[in-house]
Amino acid sequence: MKVLLTFFYLSAVALVFGAESTVLYRQTVNVKALSNGVEKTIYSTVGKETVENKITLIVTSLPSGDIEIQSEKFKLGKMPFASSFQFLIPQEEVAQKAGGGYALDSLVGIYKVAMSKPQAVLTGTLSPDTCNLTLAVDGMGKKLTMQLFSVKDAEPEAPASDEGNENSLNEQE
C-alpha cells in the first residue's frame, strides 16, 4: 500500500512540476568584461570547445508566463569558481518587441559566483537575432560590468531575377 501511495504522490508531483519551461532560443554572444575598471577575459565552453570572451544566453518561457534570461557557466579571469547570471521578466512586464525581442530597462536579477549571489542589473535589448546588453554587478567588493553583444549572420537572400521583375511589371500594365 505504501508503494502505491508513493507512486501516486510522485505522479502528482510530476504533474504539478511537469508544466515544463520552453526554451525560446539560445544565443552565443561576445562579452567585454571590466572588473573594477580592469578588462578581464571570460572563459566558457560553447558546444565542446573552450572559448574566450563568449558566453551562451538561454531565453526561456516559464509556465507562469515569466521570461527567464540566464547564462551558461563561465569563468571571469583566473577565478577558480564558475559564474552565471539569471534574470526574470515578470509576466506583467513582458513587453515583447517585433521579431521576438525584449527591451530591458534596469531589470534586477542575480549574479552567481561560488556561494555568493549579489544583485545584478541588466539593461539593453535582446532578440533571437541580436543582443546589446549591459550587466552591472556591485558586490563582493568589486564592480563588474559586462557588455554582451552579438548579431547573427544574416541569411543570404536569393538574387532577384531581372526577367521575373519584367514579367511582373508587364502583367501590371
Q: What is the pLDDT of residue 47?
A: 86
Domain assignment present for 161: no
Paired strand residues for 30: 54, 149
Q: Which three cell numbers stand for residue 137?
A: 554587478
Euclidean distance between CA atoms 102 and 104, whole angstroms: 6
Q: Which domain holds residue 52?
A: 18-152
Q: Is residue 125 part of a domain?
A: yes
The pLDDT score that the predictor gives to residue 154 is 44
pLDDT at 103: 87
| The three grid cell numbers given for residue 66, joined into one nine-digit string | 515569466
User: pLDDT value at position 45?
Assistant: 92
Cα dist from 30 to 3, 5, 45, 123, 150, whole Å: 51, 51, 13, 16, 6
pTM value is: 0.73
pLDDT of residue 108: 94
Mean pLDDT in order along the chain per 10 residues (173 residues): 46 53 93 94 92 95 93 92 94 73 90 90 92 91 92 48 43 40
Residue 1: predicted pLDDT: 53
Tell whether 162 is covered by a domain. no
> Considering its fold, how many domains does the chain have in total?
1
